[in-house]
Chain A
Amino acid sequence: MTLTLAPWILAAVALMIMPYIFTSNSALTIMNQMWITVIFALAYNMLLGQGGMLSFGHAVYAGVGGFACMHIMNASDFFASFPLPVLPVFGGLFGAGLAMIVGSFSTRSAGTVFAMISLGVGELIAASSVIIVAFFGGEEGISGDRTYAMPFFGNEFLQQINVYYLTSFWVLLSAALMYLWSRTPVGRMANAVRDNPERAEFLGYSARWVRFYSFVASGFFAGIAGGLFAINYEILTEENLNTTSSGIILLVTFLGGVGFFFGPIIGAIVFTLVQTVLSLQTELWAFYAGSLFLATVMFFPGGLAGLLMMHVPAFKLGKARLLVRPYIKTLLPAAIGILGLCALVEMTFHVRHAAQGDNEMTLFWTTFDSHTLMPWLIAIAVTVVGIGIAKRTSPALKEAWSEANSAGDVS
């Protein structure tokens, strides 16, 4: 038991000390966003990874939960008797309620029909946000003030750090609950139904009901993420419901890896970092994120988590150190080559889209004139040489890989 508890205790400690390491306000904001995305991605993976249901409209459940929380926050007389930290529960309940309604007809099958219904319902509710102004607030959305709540042990949640600990508490609790859910008979049956619905039916389980339970539970946790979003940002708009948000969570989950419970956590952390840090550096961040996503789908369908787990056998065989040198020999030049390629992309973009006469650009801490030949030659040389070396050393890496993964004597 102590062994399985270890990662959770570790996570709790990490969550506690994170604000002492990254003290700036922007870091807190990024971390808040990260943990909210973690809950949402885990909830999404409950459908996609564990239940085999591909949803194109899951932002709706988070969004509706968030909108409900915002209304509760604004209804001061009701909320005055509640401390703020319990608010996400209401978001969860609303998310689960909506999931119950939609799930009653959408969970009949998991395949294309489910995906299409989720898309249709998602579009429907996102479009309603302009029509049902009383609940969704039309185009400007609705905003609220989290400080109206009853103080929680004298805490009024005026500062980011208060919200950080609230979010951290919820991310830990939700992740633990979702993990426990995946260990329950229903969670286990969801896997069986994903892999072979006919056989699960034959064993006496209703595939439809198993899907329904997963769907509602996923809606609940998505709603919690929405409630936390409402607390953190104090505003919700149509953007929280639309297909773009639904698409992003699919991207995040798949990038992290759907086959493992912790996959979406990695995905959420990596994606939020890419989104926040990279978008400050370049306008083309979505292009890079899209390329990364496509590369993941094509070459590592297990996502980042799958990539990590591929190394477990080598570690178990005690041969992981065989991989270190070939990795450095191949991946380092490959990374440099890719950076060179990115430089070419950035320079092309600058030449095409910068204002007339604005020839100066700064890339990798060097400022140069993008209209002269020299930087282009350097970038092309770096790209060709980097990728060229990686190509030449990759057979050695492959060899080392099969050597490290084969049982036998360490040579």
Chain B
Amino acid sequence: MELILVNLIDGLVTGLLLFMLSAGLTLIFSMMGVLNFAHASFYMLGAYFAYQISIALGFWVGLLIAPLIVGVLGAGVERYGLRRVHQYGHVPELIFTFGLALLIEELVQFVWGKNQMPYNIPEVLNFTAFSIAGNSIPAYKIFMIFISVAIFIGLLFVLTKTRVGMIIQAALSYPRTVESLGHNVPLIFMGVFGVGTALAGVAGVIAGPVLGTFPGMAFVLGSIVFVTIVIGGLGSLWGALVASLLIGWITTFAKSYNLAMSDVLNAIGISTPENLSDHALRDLWTVTSPQIADILPYVLMVLILIFRPAGLFGKRES
């Protein structure tokens, strides 16, 4: 029972972190129709900038400034890169962000090298908040949960309750109408792209000390972010939240319970073959749930795309 609770909290932390990344991406997608492949790269930049700032000015200044720098960079990318490519259509846009992701990884290696950076949890938060049956929950995890929830509520409020949100939502469906009403749609796009990447930056600042700040960190999360927003339904904030939590919990539970496939197969009445070592399907029999934990989200995504291409909460097909 206690283990379930611990796993629930761990899954929540993983899921909310994923949400922070996918919230920015889903914002960008629903606004501009661009699946930004470089989104996780901005997350990585957030972590590296925050590390560099934290050396001189401490963690909290980094948390404030790093996402700002990332957001400005993102807006610049939109203004001088994406907008130019936009005229050629969506596929070149996607390819552009793909190339950008490669280039950012190379740039990060160029500046900071290939090793992991010693970016640590701030001293103030480096203690155990409480413990459940011998499993300690660090205060930093609680902090992560609070930040993510705050961002979700903030975004939801801005998008659904304010005038800015109304214009943004309208610009998504009827850019021409909004433009003729006197709003600067390209500027809105640039702003949204900046805010989306800044959110990725926040995720990087917060996740950097926990998941490690190294050149491959974007690659690790790069495709799982897509999986999240595809499962949730492209462009849906609620979908992104539900999908992130789902993925967080699925992977956490699969990792902590050592469930073997042979037990499952035995339970449904298939007996283990006698000489397993040279059986054609021996890998199927010996597979365990921690082994497949990381690919479960992909399985889920492919299934969702087959049976409900719009995703859990999505309204549009593509």
Contacts and interface: CB of A to CB of B under 8 A. Distances in A.
Interface of A: 48, 52, 54, 105-106, 108-109, 111-113, 115-117, 119-121, 123-124, 127-128, 130-135, 243, 247, 250-251, 254, 284, 286-287, 290-291, 293-294, 297-298, 301, 345, 349, 352-353
B223 A290 contact: no
B106 A120 contact: no
Given A113-B309, A251-B99, A124 B298 contact: yes
A112 B295 contact: no
A120 B99 contact: no
Given A54-B94, A298-B84, A121 B283 contact: no
Interface of B: 35, 81, 84-85, 88, 90-92, 94-96, 98-100, 102-103, 106-107, 110-111, 113, 223, 226-227, 230, 234, 280, 282-283, 287, 291-292, 294-295, 298-299, 301-302, 305-306, 309, 317-318
A297 B305 contact: no
B295 A124 contact: yes
Contacts of A105: 305-306
Contacts of B35: 112, 115-116
B94 to A, nearest CB: 6
B110 A116 contact: no
B226 A291 contact: no
Contacts, number: 111
Given A113-B305, A124-B295, A127-B294, A119 B226 contact: yes
A125 B98 CA distance: 21
B298 A127 contact: yes
A179 B226 CA distance: 35
A282 B110 CA distance: 12
A292 to B, nearest CB: 9
B92 A116 contact: no
B283 A120 contact: no
A394 B94 CA distance: 30
Contact of A287 (B106, B223, B226, B283): B106
A225 to B, nearest CB: 21
A247 B229 CA distance: 21
Contacts of B100: 294
Contacts of A286: 102, 106
Most chain A CB within 10 A, of B102, B291, B294, is at: B102
Contacts of A352: 110-111, 113
A134 B280 contact: yes
A297 B282 CA distance: 46
A250 B95 contact: yes
A123 B230 CA distance: 15
